[in-house]
Amino acid sequence: MTVYVRALETAVPPTLLIQHEARDVFASQPGLTRLGSRLVSTCFDSAAIDTRYTAVRELTLDSAAEDPQFFDPQTRVLRSPSTKARNNLFAEEATKLFIEAADAAVSKCDGIDPPDITHLITVSCTGFFNPGPDYKIVRALGLNPAVQRYHLGFMGCYAAFPALRAAKSFCEADPAAVVLVVCAELCSLHVRTSNDPDTIMGSALFADGAAAAVVTAREDLESRPLLQLDHFETVLTPVGEDSMAWNIGDEGFEMVLGNYVPHIIDSHIVGALEPLLARDPSLRELAYRDITHWAIHPGGRSILDKVQSRLDLTDEQLHPARETLRNYGNMSSATVLFVLKHILDLPSREGDERICSMAFGPGLTVETGLFTKVRQPADGLHAASAEAEPSLA
């Protein structure tokens, strides 16, 4: 049985952060040491990010908030709201993104109406509330109240893969299943000023966004499949348990992102890919750069640099990941779905287009997925027309 993604849509909050403006604010905070200020400038400038989006409307220089909790534009001082205050904003703003992304995906899937959804999987690691985002989506979109609901919480940047893997399993168990997967993360809720290098790195990288996918094995639909879900694998590296973590503090969630993480990935990425590529005999003898697309979670520029160097990938193969990082930053679990959408939006090529995808998270966990991009009729027609058109040379 073949399981497909038939719609994949993304959403971001309306407030845009310009990286160099955010750098100047973070670098000028009271309490920073001279070294801390230099670290801010270095981390922000080397992140390979131009813009990010945030659900915290106060995080702009022209904010008109009367009683700001996160940022005072008059004094340009970042404040330290409690975890409760941050989580309250998560409940309000994440709900909007969950619903927007879910509605966009279902609306793009011709032949599927909201009551046809049989399973709903929501994903987030940046906040908690109950009744949660799964409940909110059911009510807002008019899903069947009996829809099976699952929430994957606090897994980190790799969580889109367990969600897609679960969706594939549901569809293989029930050929009539239609699964809606929605990831939404509000990482910017937890930024703070600090001299700690991990905290500074998080402030330079993380952003907010959401993505949703409709997954099914049904063949009786009007919408064309976009992406075939082939295989998934999970690998825990033998080192790195203390190098990447996500903890709950009194003033928001606290990230641990050690500067040794890129080196761990560099040392263990080949071994992490072996179980995945061994699932498909047609790929075992290929060089990594012979696989058409690589949807790498852009955890940071240095991580992408290590992946590209170790696997000998071309700039073109890393372009979707680098462009996602440049335009959106690191949106935790939603980010790799942004990268996949970028690849799906590219013109189709001749033959099968295999996609090897991976994301990294606490543990250190490496989640990998193997997909096939499905050629769309318009792409095939365009290619045929181009071949039939006589050359003017």
The residues annotated as belonging to the active site are 157
> Contact 329/204 with Cβ under 8 angstroms?
no
Query: What's the residue count for the chain?
Result: 393
**Identity of the residue numbered 370:** L
Please state, in angstroms and as integers, the Cα–Cα distance from residue 342 to each residue in 74, 322, 323, 338, 339, following that order: 38, 11, 9, 6, 5
Name residue, tokens 């929605």: 182
Residue 23: φ, ψ to 5°: -60, -45
* DSSP conformation class of 217: -
Say if residues 332 and 339 touch (Cβ distance below 8 Å): no
C-alpha–C-alpha distance, residues 371 and 357, integer Å:
8
Nearest-Å Rg of the Cα atoms of the chain is 21
SS (H, E, C) 250-279: CCEEEEEECCCHHHHHHHHHHHHHHHHHCC
Residue 311 CB partners (closer than 8 Å, separation 6+): 269, 270, 288, 289, 294
